[in-house]
Chain A
Amino acid sequence: MIIMRPAAMADLAQIERLAEASGPMVCTLPVHRRNLLEKVERSLSALQSDVMMPGEESYFFVLEETTTGQLLGTSAIVAQAGYLEPFYAYRNEVIVHSSRALKVHNRIHALMLTHALSDHSQLCSFFITQALRHTHLPQLLSLGRLLFIAQHPERFSQELLAVLPGIADKTGRCPFWEHVGRKFFGIDYNQVEYYNGTRNKTFIAELMPHHPLYVPLLAEEAQAAMGQVHPDAELQFDMLMGDGFEADNFVEIFDAGPIVTARRNTLYSWQQSKVAIVDIGMPEMSDQQGLIINDQLADFRAIVAAIPSVNIPTANSTSLCLKPEQAAALKVEKGSRIHWLPLPEH
């Protein structure tokens, strides 16, 4: 059985292997033992604390195949993207330059460095083993976080964001970086993303251009890359956009990858998820797949499973019948509270 659960200290070696497998693309999953160790520690600490409002907490999850104990993926939530240090993004602004006398009206795009997203909760560190990309498991690992947020809303902000990697080729050449960031940093793209994932942000404040960048002055290939997601991250992007995230307002400062944002109560996962009381049995299953989570913190569990036929249509069902092995995987029993979401078609 495959479950989503919080990371434990014993997972560290496997997490490191997953970080390596994810390559440089996921900068919030760096190949850096100490950094990964701290992520796990902070997550455990957050799950054991009483939290009334989002602050310094972060939560780190893994996807585990329970019979073998093999880890298949990771995902995380940071309660406040810019808690100790600002969260940098480029806002895609439009400045209208217009003269009625000359009958000229130009909409000029400019990238403005902004900290406005610092209070958002951030979804990050998403990686799943290549082979599983065409299953429902990516949804478990990614949207499971959104159900966790819905279950424990006081720990998170009303506003969410996720940074998706932008265009870079296999050699690590990133067109936006080549024509923008490199002029100021003089280092390679992979190097700066690595620093971004492992160091504090002082170097960004010192090196990034703070004045708005007029987009028409950027090289063609840099302009073309703005807001474009890396092909290997399209799965991620599509899942979040499908749930109701918006793109086109903000881009990442190094590779201009899309930063998607959402007010959480507008998301499909927020609006369509339901609370139910657990019953144990062997119900007849429908074709509808669902994402199911328990209401625990340190013992958080989530699975993907077929939804019983009686729960379709999903309105007005106050109980959900689970098979015994499902209840065990979810660490629930009859009468426990769960939260579940019908998954949209892949």
Chain B
Amino acid sequence: MMIIRPVQLEDLAAISALAAKTGVGVTSLPSNDERLAARIERVLKTWRDEATQAEQGYLFVLEDTEQNKVVGISAIEVAVGRTEPWYNYRVGTLVHASKELNVYTQMPTLFLSNDHTGYSELCTLFLDPEYRHSKNGQLLSKARFLFMAAFQERFADKLIAEMRGFSDEAGRSPFWESLGRHFFSIDFSEADYLTGIGQKSFIAELMPKHPLYVDFLSPEARESIGQVHPHTAPARAILESEGMKYEGYVDIFDAGPTLEAYVSELRAVKQSRVWPVVIDDQATSTSNTTYLLANDKFRDYRALLAQVSFTDTAICLPSVIAAALAVDAGDTIRAVTLFSEAQFVKASAVKESR
């Protein structure tokens, strides 16, 4: 059975093994054991209610209970940019016009900004390639939304997710080559790594601060603004189906898009409902709708996917699922369909057409 639970100290070795597999581009999972251990400490401190707001974060693992193996991680930061600046480029427009000369030009312009300071952030999403099936990726990513639905008051009003930007097979980012390289004189992978291990002051020292007219960048760089890396496209699709949108903010190194949403507007937050639990080993689900279920226990959080049935007043769980969720009869479960209506219709339409 695949379950989502908070990270524990004992998971360090497994997470370190996962970190070694991520390659360039998953910034917040550096292959650096000291930093990983410190990260785990910090989130455990958050769960103990001992962390300051600037420190707070949550880290979840996906565990294969049969193999007793941690195979995925996902995380939320509560408030970014509170100790060090959080940088983006905002893609804006400057209009240059002269009626006298009958000239009108719209110039897309990149403005360096710290606008997302204080927002909550989805991050550190990684699933072992061998487990990329059976909706494991959906579970790993979306369990966080359900957690936020249960504990909204612990998060900011707005949520962001930075998506990895475009780079080619050789690992070259055209945006970096056209812009960042002139100022940083280091490879994109090194800049990325340094940011991931928290050495960010070099950004303030080296970044061009003045607004940049996009027209001065190479055509490849221009095209990559707001584009995700091909491998990241599925993750983008998932987040957009959950209500997150690109609003014109991109990463300063590779121009990958930042998706954002009001937490209160997230699908999982709006549509999830809390149900009293009834244990029923005979119950079978009447439809083949997959639900994302979670126990809403802050410290002993559990989430998983299941096809279950409901009465008018309760959710009917087989005992093995109840046990995995650490709940008994009379406790409550938060449930939401794994997919939004539109996604579900699309998915079944695809099935029928085969």
Residues of chain A having any CB pair with chain B under 8 Å:
97-99, 101-102, 104, 106, 108, 110, 183-187, 195, 199, 202-203, 206-209, 211-214, 216-218
Residue in A199, A213, A216 whose beta carbon sits within 8 Å of that of B100 in the complex = A199
- Which residue of chain A is the closest to B205 with respect to CB atoms? A99
Beyond the given pairs A207-B105, A208-B96, 16 more chain A to chain B contacts, judged by CB atoms under 8 angstroms and listed by A's residue number, are: A97-B183, A97-B205, A97-B208, A99-B202, A101-B199, A102-B202, A102-B206, A106-B183, A183-B107, A184-B96, A185-B105, A209-B96, A209-B107, A214-B208, A217-B212, A218-B216
Q: Could you tell me if A184 and B107 are in contact, using CB atoms closer than 8 angstroms?
A: yes
Verify if B219 is at the interface (C-beta below 8 Å from A).
Answer: no
Q: Could you tell me if B97 and A108 are in contact, using CB atoms closer than 8 angstroms?
A: no
State in angstroms the CA–CA spacing of A98 and B96 once bound together. Answer: 33
> Given contacts A99-B205, A213-B216, A214-B208, is CB(A207)–CB(B103) below 8 Å?
yes
- Which residue of chain A is the closest to B182 with respect to CB atoms? A216
Q: Which residues of chain B are within 8 angstroms of A184 by Cβ–Cβ distance?
A: 96, 105, 107
- Which residue of chain A is the closest to B99 with respect to CB atoms? A206
Verify if B197 is at the interface (C-beta below 8 Å from A).
Answer: no
Verify if B83 is at the interface (C-beta below 8 Å from A).
Answer: no
A interface, over-half SS:
mixed
- Which residue of chain A is the closest to B179 with respect to CB atoms? A217
Minimum C-beta distance from B26 to chain A (A): 22
Q: How many residues of B contact A (CB 8 A)?
A: 32
Verify if B314 is at the interface (C-beta below 8 Å from A).
Answer: no
Residues of chain B having any CB pair with chain A under 8 Å:
94, 96-98, 100-101, 103, 105, 107, 109, 178-179, 182-186, 194, 199, 201-202, 205-208, 210-213, 215-217
Q: Could you tell me if A207 and B185 are in contact, using CB atoms closer than 8 angstroms?
A: no
Ordered nearest first, which 7 A-B pairs have the shortest CB separation? A216-B182, A99-B202, A206-B98, A203-B98, A217-B216, A99-B205, A211-B211
Q: Could you tell me if B182 and A214 are in contact, using CB atoms closer than 8 angstroms?
A: yes
Q: Could you tell me if A206 and B183 are in contact, using CB atoms closer than 8 angstroms?
A: no
State in angstroms the CA–CA spacing of A213 and B210 once bound together. Answer: 8
Q: Could you tell me if B105 and A187 are in contact, using CB atoms closer than 8 angstroms?
A: no
Q: Which residues of chain B are within 8 angstroms of A108 by Cβ–Cβ distance?
A: 182-183, 208
Interchain residue pairs with CB less than 8 A apart (17): A98-B206, A99-B202, A99-B206, A102-B194, A104-B184, A183-B107, A187-B103, A202-B98, A202-B100, A206-B97, A207-B105, A209-B96, A212-B210, A214-B182, A217-B178, A217-B216, A217-B217
Q: Which residues of chain B are within 8 angstroms of A206 by Cβ–Cβ distance?
A: 96-98
Q: Could you tell me if A214 and B98 are in contact, using CB atoms closer than 8 angstroms?
A: no
Q: Which residues of chain B are within 8 angstroms of A202 by Cβ–Cβ distance?
A: 98, 100
State in angstroms the CA–CA spacing of A187 and B215 once bound together. Answer: 16
State in angstroms the CA–CA spacing of A187 and B105 once bound together. Answer: 11
Q: Which residues of chain A are within 8 angstroms of B94 by Cβ–Cβ distance?
A: 209
Q: Could you tell me if A214 and B105 are in contact, using CB atoms closer than 8 angstroms?
A: no
Q: Could you tell me if A106 and B103 are in contact, using CB atoms closer than 8 angstroms?
A: no
State in angstroms the CA–CA spacing of A153 and B199 once bound together. Answer: 58
Minimum C-beta distance from B166 to chain A (A): 19
- Which residue of chain B is the closest to A98 with respect to CB atoms? B205
State in angstroms the CA–CA spacing of A241 and B314 once bound together. Answer: 91
Q: Could you tell me if A207 and B96 are in contact, using CB atoms closer than 8 angstroms?
A: yes
- Which residue of chain A is the closest to B95 with respect to CB atoms? A206
Minimum C-beta distance from B58 to chain A (A): 30
| Residue among B94, B100, B107 facing the most chain A CB atoms (10 A cut-off) | B100
Q: Which residues of chain A are within 8 angstroms of B97 by Cβ–Cβ distance?
A: 206-207
Q: Could you tell me if A211 and B96 are in contact, using CB atoms closer than 8 angstroms?
A: no
State in angstroms the CA–CA spacing of A211 and B205 once bound together. Answer: 19
Q: Could you tell me if B105 and A106 are in contact, using CB atoms closer than 8 angstroms?
A: no
State in angstroms the CA–CA spacing of A187 and B210 once bound together. Answer: 26
Q: Could you tell me if A211 and B213 are in contact, using CB atoms closer than 8 angstroms?
A: yes
Q: Could you tell me if A110 and B206 are in contact, using CB atoms closer than 8 angstroms?
A: no
- Which residue of chain B is the closest to A202 with respect to CB atoms? B100
> Given contacts A203-B98, A203-B100, is CB(A211)–CB(B210) below 8 Å?
yes
Q: Which residues of chain B are within 8 angstroms of A99 by Cβ–Cβ distance?
A: 201-202, 205-206
Q: Which residues of chain A are within 8 angstroms of B105 by Cβ–Cβ distance?
A: 183-186, 207
Q: Could you tell me if B212 and A214 are in contact, using CB atoms closer than 8 angstroms?
A: yes
State in angstroms the CA–CA spacing of A306 and B210 once bound together. Answer: 56
